[in-house]
Chains A and B, each alone.
Chain A
Amino acid sequence: MVSKTEETQLSNLETQVDNGGGGAWEYLCLVRKLKVRRSDRVLKHGLSILNDLKKRSSLGPDEWTLYEQVAVAAMDCQSLEVAKDCIKVLRKKFPESKRVGRLEGMLLEAKGAWAEAEKAYSSLLEDNPLDQVIHKRRVAMAKGQGNVSVAIEWLNKYLEIFMADHDAWRELAEIYVSLQMYKQAAFCYEELILSQPMVPLYHLAYADVLYTLGGLENLQNAKKYYASTIDLTGGKNTRALFGVCLCSSAIGQIAKGRNKDDKESPELQSLAATALEREYKQKASDKLSLLTAALKGLKVSS
Chain B
Amino acid sequence: MGGESRYEIAQDAYMKIVLHALKHKSSAVNAVLLGRVSPTNDAVEITDSVPLFHSHLGLLPQLEISLILIEEHYAAKGVNIVGYFHANERFDDYELSGVAKNVGDHIYRYFPQAAILLLDNKKLEALPKGKDRSPVMQLYTRDSSKNWKLAGGEGSSQLTIKEPSANAVLLDHISTEKWQDVVDFDDHLDDISKDWLNPELFK
Contacts and interface: CB of A to CB of B under 8 A. Distances in A.
Contact of A239 (B26, B189, B193): B189
Contacts of B28: 178
B60 A208 contact: yes
A287 B69 contact: yes
A95 B64 CA distance: 55
B93 interface: yes
A283 B189 CA distance: 12
Contacts of A34: none
Contacts of B102: 180
B90 A211 contact: no
Interface of B: 26, 28, 55-62, 64-65, 68-69, 72-73, 89-90, 92-93, 97-99, 102, 189-193, 195
Nearest to A243: B61
B57 A294 contact: no
A208 B65 contact: no
A294 B68 contact: yes
Binding site secondary structure of chain A: helix
B59 A246 contact: no
A23 to B, nearest CB: 20
B69 A178 contact: no
Nearest to B75: A293
A173 to B, nearest CB: 9
A246 B98 contact: no
B58 A178 contact: yes
- When A and B form their complex, which 3 residue pairs have the shortest distance between CB atoms, in order from nearest? A212-B60, A283-B193, A284-B192
A294 B70 CA distance: 10
A23 B156 CA distance: 56
Contact of B93 (A37, A146, A177, A293): A146
B192 A208 contact: no
Interface residues of A, number: 32
Nearest to B55: A174
B69 A294 contact: yes
Contacts, number: 77
Contact of A174 (B56, B73, B189): B56
A280 interface: yes
A37 B97 CA distance: 26
A279 B61 CA distance: 19
A297 B62 CA distance: 16
B94 to A, nearest CB: 11
Given A246-B64, A284-B195, A180 B58 contact: yes
Contact of B61 (A174, A212, A286, A293): A212
A161 B28 CA distance: 29
A212 B59 contact: yes
A238 B192 contact: yes
Contact of B189 (A238, A246, A280): A238
Given A180-B99, A211-B61, 14 more contacts: A146-B92, A178-B57, A178-B89, A178-B97, A208-B56, A211-B59, A212-B60, A239-B61, A239-B62, A242-B62, A242-B189, A287-B69, A291-B69, A298-B68
Given A208-B56, A212-B58, A283-B193, A179 B69 contact: no
B60 A297 contact: no
Given A146-B90, A239-B62, A294-B65, A180 B98 contact: yes
Most chain-A Cβ atoms within 10 A of its Cβ — which of B72, B89, B93, B190?
B72
A55 B8 CA distance: 54
A279 B64 CA distance: 20
A295 to B, nearest CB: 9
A163 interface: no
B68 to A, nearest CB: 5
5 contacts: A178-B97, A238-B192, A283-B192, A284-B193, A286-B195
A290 B65 contact: no
B61 A246 contact: yes
Contacts of A75: none
B193 A208 contact: no
A209 interface: yes
